[in-house]
Amino acid sequence: AKQEGRNRFCFFSGDLEESLLQRHALELKLRHAIENDELIVVYQPKFNLKTKNIVGAEALVRMVDENNQLISPVEFIPIAEDSGLIVPLGNQVLLKACTQAAKWLKEGMPISVSVNVAAAQFADPDLEAIIIEVLNQTQLPPHYLELEITETALMGDINETQTKLSVLKGLGINISIDDFGTGYSSLSYLKKFNVDIMKIDMSFVIDMLNNTHDYEIVKTIILLGQSLSLTLIAEGVETEEQAQALMELGCGIGQGYLYSKPLRKKEFMTFLESATKN
């Protein structure tokens, strides 16, 4: 197969060949990082827009390169998805995030952690068993764990999705629809799926105060979420004005550079300690 692969490269030239090689190199690096447990998880705090208290954190994966620089998931998540590595990757992130949240709790900082669940991971028949195992192992009370799942990942077989969500909810964890508004949002699905949280995609938030169209979308998503009694989170909150506007529209929670970038676990601890002191 290697030989064939090499020959096939001959059909491509220049940039395409280069990008295929880069992709391949990144896949090898990723495989190595997973096998040696070298993935890093950073945490981005989520804030109650009114009280300005930290209510949770999103776990976001990073890879470290030879020069100790962090590689963005935007570069390697698609590769992980194509190669099937996304499942072991996601499971490692889940374990690390729950370990961390259990630690925060033990140290008097009871905040929830959310973990991104890719479509292939959601479809994995072992998902429930893995989550139960991780909760047992880390002793994290389930209501401190939240799963962020995109609409697209939920859009498989409706009955299967419904059953799966019920089982997960039955464990006591919370389910969030990630990047809401960017996928195939459908009212009938939303009503059928037992979810708790709706995350408004940052593409609508970033420009909401300059673009009336985006503002109306955000407003409509919030109304929709409220009518379904869901908790609303806005991602990509970068300014005080956006936070204010979101709060006025009825969104409860914000996440974004206004508050903090994703932080390494040590930095996050320091951030948490200073935030909970005052």
Interface residue with ligand C2E among 22, 72, 163, 166 (CB under 6 A) is: 72
CA-CA-CA-CA dihedral for 162, 116, 177, 74, to nearest 10: -130
Q: What is the CA radius of gyration of the chain?
A: 20
Residue 60 interacts, among Ca ion, ligand C2E, none and using kind-specific CB cut-offs from 5 to 8 Å, with ligand C2E
Give whichever of 114 and 161 is closer to ligand C2E, judged by the CB atom.
114
Residue 72 interacts, among Ca ion, ligand C2E, none and using kind-specific CB cut-offs from 5 to 8 Å, with ligand C2E
Within positions 25 to 54, which residues make up the interface with ligand C2E, using CB under 6 A? Answer: 44
Give whichever of 179 and 190 is closer to ligand C2E, judged by the CB atom.
179
Interface residue with ligand C2E among 193, 245, 256, 272 (CB under 6 A) is: 256
Asked whether the beta carbons of 128 and 72 are under 8 A apart, the reply is no
Give whichever of 4 and 35 is closer to ligand C2E, judged by the CB atom.
35
Least Å distance, CB 178 to Ca ion, is 4
Widest Cα–Cα separation across the chain: 64
Residue 73 interacts, among ligand C2E, Ca ion, none and using kind-specific CB cut-offs from 5 to 8 Å, with ligand C2E
Binding of residue 90 to ligand C2E (CB under 6 A): yes
Nearest to 98 by CA among 149, 13, 41: 41
Asked whether the beta carbons of 61 and 40 are under 8 A apart, the reply is yes
Listed in sequence order, the residues at least 6 apart from 99 whose beta carbon sits closer than 8 Å to its beta carbon are: 138, 140
Within positions 70 to 129, which residues make up the interface with Ca ion, using CB under 5 A? Answer: 116
Listed in sequence order, the residues at least 6 apart from 145 whose beta carbon sits closer than 8 Å to its beta carbon are: 97, 98, 101, 112, 113, 114, 115, 131, 135, 173, 174
**How many angstroms separate the CA atoms of 161 and 163, rounded?**
5
Helix (H, G, I), strand (E, B) or coil at 116: strand
Binding of residue 245 to ligand C2E (CB under 6 A): no
Interface residue with ligand C2E among 27, 128, 133, 238 (CB under 6 A) is: 238
Q: Which residues bind ligand C2E (CB under 6 A)?
A: 44, 60-61, 72-74, 77, 86, 90, 93, 116, 118, 178-179, 202, 235-238, 256-257, 262
| Site residues (vs Ca ion, CB under 5 A) | 116, 148, 178-179, 201, 235
